[in-house]
Amino acid sequence: MNVIAIDGSSSAGKGTLALRLAQELDYAYLDTGALYRGVGYELLQNGLDPQDEEAAVKVAKGLSVERMLSLQDDSCIRNEVCGKAASYVSRLPKVREALFEFQRRFALFPIKKDKTPAKGAILDGRDIGTVICPEAQIKLFLTANSEIRAKRRYKELQLKGLCVIYEDVLSDIIQRDKRDQERQTAPLKPAEDALVIDTSDMT
């Protein structure tokens, strides 16, 4: 298993690093946050509450492999509302359980966007080094101080043409960190053998 696990908090730079490494090494890349966002999106689309456990589990179990593979390219899930919904559904152990097998298979049998097999996989998320691929050869854990992350996120949203207030973005990041770190199942924390990288002073 050639796997690079990249975990860390939101806007710490996981996605950017994962994508660049995947291009450089010609590995397949899976953004696992997109799976939780996808569950949140489906619930919201159907007028359901992201905190409704039964509904969230049903949606998570119902996602097809094709849909899970395509979610990371779906721009509809990249908004703050889906991000918040994702952070609620990701607290539910049964939702995590429903998405486990797909992530595990991707790590074991990585496939690239053109559907050809890859010689390795890069997965980014919150629990890749601890739960999904504890045997990954390389584990990175990215952090950055919350104000810097909020500024990055604020800039990104502005570039998308969205009208956002910096204080709201900051408070959202702080609350999301808290939910990710304090949940019972697979909380956000570095694996014991992870290399921790603080990206606060990096571009």
> What residues line the site for ligand DC (CB under 6 A)?
10, 32-33, 36-37, 83, 86-87, 90, 125-127, 176, 180
Task: Give every strand in the sheet of 138-143, ordered side by side.
Answer: 28-31, 121-125, 3-8, 138-143, 195-198
C-beta of 165: minimal distance to ligand DC in Å? 19
Taken in order 171, 174, 177, 181, is the CA torsion positive or negative?
negative
| Two structure tokens written together for 100 | 């486990």
C-beta of 83: minimal distance to ligand DC in Å? 5
C-beta of 27: minimal distance to ligand DC in Å? 17
26 or 196: CB nearest ligand DC: 196
26 or 76: CB nearest ligand DC: 76
C-beta of 11: minimal distance to ligand DC in Å? 8
26 or 160: CB nearest ligand DC: 160
| Two structure tokens written together for 42 | 């489906």
Nearest to 197 by CA among 32, 8, 21, 11: 8
